[in-house]
Chains A and B, each alone.
Chain A
Amino acid sequence: MSSPQVPLDTVGTAYTTAPPGAVRRKRMSMWQRPPYWMMLPSVALLLIIVVAPFAVSVYASLTKLNQYTIAHWTSAPFVGLENYADAFRQGNALGASALQSVWVSVSFSVATTILITPIGIIAALLVNKPFRGRRWVRTLFLVPYVMPVFVNAIVWRMLFMNGWGLIDQVLAGLHLANKDTFWLIGPRSFWAMVVADVWSSWPFVYLMVLAGLQGISSDLYESANIDGASPVRGFFSITLPMLRPVLGLALLLSTLNHFNNFTLPFIMFGTPPSPQADVLPLNVYITSFQTFNFGLGAAMSLMTLILMMIPAVFYIRMLRLGEATS
């Protein structure tokens, strides 16, 4: 073992960032060029099943594709950017709240991600070391993730129901709130939605971290132990840096996925939900797909996508995700 001081601080980079140039040159010379054929199946499938429909959808966003033209969709009139202008003008069934929906969606996905990350990391650390019954605990931790989203929404709707819902009854029993407190309408509906989503989605971070932990060599901890570092310090100086690529990815995807979640508010609340819980995708879904305006729907989806990708690209740059071998 080398000096304990060095790996503690640099080990993360040693494994995850650029290997010394000499090593890479050597490898490149021995391995010749990248085996592109290994990527071929992925690329081909993505092209046919995602990229091609996406391109069709982009085209549709430039046409007046709606209930009148759907039967002859190839000849739907071309309207240029009109749908995009419409999307700005009429976000919501009651107008002018598209911006608010963006704000709700951003707060929702950020709040949820911030809450599920520590829970997920702690849960993974708790079941990382062997103990009796560990596999049952590990499996139990997966249960919320396995419940279908709409079942989750129904259950939390019942739990949060004012008057007879369990949460109001418990809060009233503890004299913390009135039994008739509304959770599914008004400002509190945002938090009801966050709680329901946290319950069902923290195992995502948990699973990612659990697998990430397995890649950390126990030697690192042993050397840290010899060094007399406490487990807490070990966590911050070894575990967290080593988890960086996995955790960075988990946070990014969690944020993006929660931004897209519309089943939960769709079932938990009425349609449309309270302005405080009216997330953008739901807004898009209702104004376009329930009212058969596919062109507008595609335009709104595309704008949502661009809106999400701008911060995502910054984030990827900032964390230098995907640059391990560059």
Chain B
Amino acid sequence: MSYSMSAQQRFWNTLRAVGIALIALFILIPLAYIVLISLTPDTQVGGGSLWPSHWAFENYAKMWPTVHLAQGIRNSVIISGLAGLLATLVALGSAYVLARFQFRGRKTFMLSLITIQTIPSVMLLLPLFVIIVVIQDAISIHLVGRYFTIILTYMTFALPFACWLLYSYMSGIPADLEEAGFVDGCTRLQVVRYVVFPLLLPGMVVTFVFSFLLAWGDVLFASVLTSAETHTVAVSLQAYVSSGESGGDVYWGQLMAASLTSGLPIMVIFLIFQKYIIGGLASGAVKG
């Protein structure tokens, strides 16, 4: 490659800039609207004019105590973070076996994972709660409302997708490398840790992000399996909407401000993790 840009390269760079600008615009217009509402006094939202008569910066201050936002964000980070991490690690084991071995029932297992993924969650809510209570009574340890319970629930919900995802990525990695590792005298766990793990990192990061977001966005299970102390931020945010249900006014500004603010931790986490989604890992390893 030469250092001076060829005409072709310039063309592709311009095209990339234009493409990014277009997508960014598509994202930013509704987003800008959210920001605008978050700064509009509630009674002027939808009043006919786009610009408010004055900026309601106080929404960003008032939202904290209204729904215990800070506590909700903290709980969500703990619950989603651990659920995502555990789902990724547990799924890694399954995905490894599924991708590297042929055994009876493998296909059935993979199909049932898709089926499980497709079960409407409203269908599971009531029976799952009953089962948790039965277990709780049997071992006489309180489970409902604990971090432990909701984390385990979310990580399990994330598993089918996580298994498939990691399986797909693992299929793209040549098995020769592991065999080389095995020839070098590694145990199976060591091969997974030192060979599979680094090669699979982009896939694992994505699996983590998806599992994390699944737990982050759920309202249904969090609203019954968590207590006041362990409510996730999604449950807290929904409290804003419920006053609309009963015919009253909604704190539109605070809701939007709180939604934006609660999105920030995910952004930070992704900013940190995205650098592991880097090109050429597989190729580098093949060369090395």
Query: Which A residues are closer than 8 A to B by beta carbons?
Result: 15-16, 19, 23-24, 26-27, 30-31, 33-36, 38-43, 45-46, 48-54, 56-57, 60, 73, 119, 122-123, 126-129, 131, 135, 137-151, 154-156, 158-159, 161, 164, 166, 169, 199, 207-208, 210-219, 231, 242, 245-246, 249, 252-253, 256, 259-260, 267, 281, 284-285, 289, 294, 297-298, 301-302, 304-305, 308-309, 312-313, 316, 322-326
Contact = CB atoms under 8 A, between A and B. Distances in A.
Contact of A56 (B131, B266, B270): B131
Contacts of B26: 199
B71 interface: no
B169 A42 contact: no
A102 to B, nearest CB: 14
Among B30, B98, B277, the most chain A Cβ lie within 10 Å of the Cβ of: B30
Q: Is the interface of B mostly helix, strand, loop or mixed?
A: helix
A15 B259 CA distance: 43
Contacts of A253: 117, 161, 164
Main secondary structure of the interface of A (DSSP, over half): helix
Nearest to B101: A34
B61 interface: no
B172 A213 contact: no
B278 A39 contact: no
A210 B30 contact: no
Given A49-B128, A325-B100, A126 B19 contact: yes
B279 interface: yes
A46 B123 contact: no
8 contacts: A34-B100, A45-B155, A137-B24, A151-B237, A253-B164, A260-B121, A322-B98, A325-B102
Q: Which of A141, A217, A231, A302 has the most CB of B within 10 A?
A: A217
Contacts of B94: 38-39, 42-43
Contact of B202 (A145, A154, A215): A215
Contacts, number: 293
Interface stretch (B52-60, B62-70, B106-114): B106-114
B116 A51 contact: yes
A287 to B, nearest CB: 12
Given A35-B188, A148-B262, A159-B30, 5 more contacts: A35-B96, A52-B131, A119-B23, A148-B219, A252-B114
B168 interface: yes
B168 A246 contact: yes
Nearest to A24: B102
B206 A312 contact: no
What are the 5 tightest A-B residue pairs by CB atom distance, in nearest-first order?
A38-B93, A56-B127, A34-B101, A217-B283, A53-B127
Contacts of A212: 168-169, 172
B238 A143 contact: no
A218 B168 contact: no
B118 A39 contact: no
Contacts of A137: 20, 24
Given A123-B23, A218-B279, A35 B259 contact: no
